[in-house]
Structure 1
Amino acid sequence: MSSVNKENWILHSVIFSLKHEKGSEAEQRFLADGEAILTSIPVVKAFKVYKQVSAKNDYDFGFSMEFANQDEYEDYNAHPLHEKFVSERWETEVERFLEIDYQLR
């Protein structure tokens, strides 16, 4: 991140639980497909998939990614692959989620 203008940088993250049975093939397929599809969008950087382990909340997984600026973030949101993933997979397979976007102070 050293070459990124830190004033404009965005860390986009979402924690979520799936409708699938824990440990199921469908659960693993969703996580793998999410990573493959979303990382193919050119503006997505530093994509990570997380398993949530805190006892302080009951979400199961997290995705995070970085954008250099607001324009890149908006390009991601409007990208056809993102829109297709959301409509075909996210809306049908995710039980609940919390989205958090950060900038450095």
Structure 2
Amino acid sequence: MVIFNLKHEQGSAEAEKFLADGQAILASIPTVSNFGVFSQTSVKNPYQYGFSMDFASQADYDFYNEHPSHTGFVKERWELEVTDFLEIDFQLKR
């Protein structure tokens, strides 16, 4: 999961395009499941948006992390449009 702010005004066409493109690109990576796009509702949290996804294993996460679609999205969109973020990686305790 990652929560983040964009340089675009919240709800703007540019912000909506970033979110839609992020979903289309990142969810298409074969090891990604349950991809979600979120808008913040709590006034206690300063981040506006979130992406969430699941991976079946560490190897699946590593595949995603190095996948050209992910690295390309980070370089071509994320680094240019995201102003701040917090990455939250959890492993299910069984």
TM-score (norm 2): 0.96
Of 78, 84, 94, which aligns to 1:96?
A: 84
The amino acid across from 1:92 in the alignment is: L
Cross-structure match for 1:87: 75
Task: Give the C-alpha shift of residue 104 in structure 1.
Answer: 1.6
Of 52, 56, 60, which aligns to 1:68?
A: 56
Of 22, 25, 37, which aligns to 1:37?
A: 25
Task: Give the C-alpha shift of residue 14 in structure 1.
Answer: 0.2
Q: Highest Rg: 1 or 2?
A: 1
State how many pairs are aligned: 93
The amino acid across from 2:52 in the alignment is: S
Mind listing any 5+ residue stretches in structure 2 that lack a counterpart? none
The percentage of counterpart residues that share the same residue type is 60
Which of the pair is proportionally richer in helix?
2
Superposed CA RMSD: 0.6
> Equivalents in 2 of 1:92, 1:82: separation in Å?
14
Task: Give the C-alpha shift of residue 92 in structure 1.
Answer: 0.3
